[in-house]
Structure 1
């Protein structure tokens, strides 16, 4: 698949940026208009977490899609998509800290220790933070080869994200199973690509 540099810079990148922003706009508008159902705060927290995981999986999908379509320019979207994943994860975390616990740190700490899905979610956020912080060109140059090793954390982070969601739902596990299958396919493609060379 070929696309001109002009179309990539002027159309594709800004369009993807706008599309990835839509969920945040939707939830902000929903809160403003009180249109998110009987428990809007829970809808916001869960919805932002869902989008954090979806965009994280989209980040992982960029390399396989680049190989599938022979479209090297896709790699230039990965940093933006990854930062969007972090954006939604942080909003999800902030919603949990504020709306669920009103920044009651003692209660939050108890939650982290006593509820496994909260524990793995917090670990995922902690591990994701250095990836976001080191996503600048300056940090990439400064870290050199260590940058790639650090950013391989995306694999266990994605697993923790799926596990966080799986453990959070109580009855219908259909959606986390779908995410787990997508993640398995994405990781399997990487292993196949690595060992088939």
Structure 2
């Protein structure tokens, strides 16, 4: 296989990986943020203290996080088929990617929100702020650098997850590495795929670090 052919395959695989990571990141950011906020609010002593609900949510999050992604990928195949109508391809891979990443990001959100000083929350409460205002204008605002850093970590994890999705025909760079680099012993494809993943992750990390620095200075 010529390098020209390798680059053509690599470009397609990179586009598929970027699509999977982009969509699953958006869904994870929304779902993980909501779940993380709910964990903080319902925790004992929280603004909406509900220990039984917190325990149930925590258990679900812990069970999902404890499953290796490759097992989760196979376990949710019926759900994936019900949602997108297939279990093969980039759109199908987005489903397990999102399911696996939401609990991961939710715990990061929970940790970031807990870092907000209690004095700040108490001051907002004393000024008559509602629970919604405390969450939106105090907790989330103060925790922005931590949330940005956590989202960066999550995106990088999703890149790794997307590569594993190639095992079941999920498309992207992982699928490319398995079909050509492993099964057909095309060393050039394997080397190019690894290099592309490294560059992809480095760019994500640099963008995340830049965002964290900007948010920290505001």
Q: TM-score under structure 2 normalisation?
A: 0.28
**Higher relative CO (CA 8 A, sep ≥ 6), structure 1 or 2?**
2
Q: TM-score under structure 1 normalisation?
A: 0.30
